[in-house]
Chains A and B, each alone.
Chain A
Amino acid sequence: MSDYLLLLVGTILVNNFVLVQFLGLCPFMGVSSKLETAVGMSAATTFVLTLSSVASYVIYTWLLEPLGLIYLKTISFILVIAFMVQFTEMLVRKTSPLLYRVLGIFLPLITTNCAVLGVALLNISRQNSLIESFLYGFGAAIGFSLVLILFAAMRERLAVADVPVPFQGAAIGLVAAGIMSLAFMGFSGLVTLG
């Protein structure tokens, strides 16, 4: 039990996918200009990331490995992720048309979020079990959401701050992201993962 808890905390804070492993930076910069969109994006990504992590594990262990088709893992994971994203898009469109309009192009772009494929592939290389895969995907998603929402809140303040002209816009965003990344690297002593 404590192993699972450690894994969760480890993926959320210590090995945070965005700020420590630098995966999924495009939505991190792209959708963080407004808190509201960031929250919606976080929810959608959490759903996709968790489900695709589990689904890719299932496909790998129960289909590809017995058939000796391990070399097909990347392409079949991409298939799984694309399916998950399409499914989420339909779900969001049905349940919340407003969120659908706000997220716009970023919703289909979850497909190309490298964190999603990264989690699926890391599950294999870390030899996670089914529950571990679920927690790993969920932890990665929560870590992504945490950082995205924190960063969006910060950028909303940066938008009204008196920033020197050469730093305005994306430049100050990248600087802030760098400083945040430094701060998250401070967690590296908290839990040691094998």
Chain B
Amino acid sequence: MWIAIVTLLILAAIFGGLLGFASVRFRPEGNPIVDNIDEILPQTQCGQCGYPGCRPYAEAIAGGDKINKCPPGGEATIQALADLLDVEPEPLDAEHGEEKTRTVAVIREDECIGCTKCIQACPVDAILGAAKQMHTVIESECTGCDLCVEPCPVDCIDMVPVEMTMRSWHWDKPAPGVNLIATDRPRGLEQKGERAA
């Protein structure tokens, strides 16, 4: 009886020790929280947060940076990040830009001189064209980041708001603080007040 228990315990201890060693030895590089943050960010790669793309900003957030520097994501992204990281949501930092309606870039094609400058600026390769050929924007790929507007020497790029269609229309999300159902009501003070009344 005792031999059996001791044998099993020793076996378990050996395997546990080996696993502990392996978990240190084979620890994967990179922080899984960075992946989670990166998934929430809108992947516009616009750089308005001051970092060269969404992934670097995700790493910065994981390192303790503010979560309110992403204008394309807007309030929804800040809320999601606050939920993920369990911090208080803050209003968007105006220093990095304002939340706008979703836009796409459109090139006025007869004015385009084919300089390829916007192609180089585009972070998501959504602009198609070659030197001295007319360029055009692949609308489904464009993230509306405005980065191509600045370099264009003839100013032929417009940021056009995405038209609301039957497919893209959706109800507005309820503003924070609205109680739709009873369980939305914050617990604590209000309930106590009600009870006292």
Contacts and interface: CB of A to CB of B under 8 A. Distances in A.
Interface in A60-101: 63-64, 67-69, 71-72, 75-76, 79-80, 82-83, 86-87, 90-91, 93-94, 97
A59 B14 CA distance: 12
Given A59-B11, A79-B12, A72 B19 contact: no
Contacts of A63: 7, 11
Given A59-B11, A83-B18, 9 more contacts: A63-B7, A63-B11, A69-B3, A72-B7, A72-B8, A79-B8, A80-B15, A87-B22, A97-B28
Contacts of B3: 67-69
A87 B25 CA distance: 11
B4, B12, B23 pick with most chain A CB within 10 angstroms: B4
Interface in B1-51: 3-4, 7-8, 11-12, 15, 18-19, 22-23, 26-28
Interface residues of A, number: 21
23 contacts: A63-B7, A64-B7, A68-B3, A69-B4, A69-B7, A71-B4, A72-B4, A72-B7, A76-B7, A76-B8, A76-B11, A79-B8, A79-B12, A79-B15, A80-B15, A83-B19, A86-B22, A90-B19, A90-B22, A90-B23, A90-B26, A91-B26, A93-B26
Nearest to B10: A63
Contacts of A87: 18-19, 22
A75 B9 CA distance: 12
A110 to B, nearest CB: 15
Contacts, number: 44
Contacts of A83: 15, 18-19
Interface string B173-194: 0000000000000000000000
The secondary structure that dominates the B interface is helix
B184 to A, nearest CB: 33
A79 B11 contact: yes
A105 B28 CA distance: 18
Contacts of A64: 7
Interface of A: 59, 63-64, 67-69, 71-72, 75-76, 79-80, 82-83, 86-87, 90-91, 93-94, 97
Given A63-B7, A76-B11, A94 B18 contact: no
Contacts of B22: 86-87, 90-91
Given A69-B7, A72-B7, A86 B19 contact: yes
A33 to B, nearest CB: 24
A183 to B, nearest CB: 40
A184 to B, nearest CB: 35
B15 A67 contact: no
A74 to B, nearest CB: 12
A52 to B, nearest CB: 12
Nearest to B12: A79
A63 B12 CA distance: 13
A94 B8 contact: no
Contacts of A68: 3
A87 B23 CA distance: 8
A174 B58 CA distance: 45
Contacts of A90: 19, 22-23, 26
A86 B28 CA distance: 14
Interface in B73-106: none
A93 B28 contact: yes
Given A69-B4, A72-B4, A87-B18, A94 B11 contact: no
B16 to A, nearest CB: 8
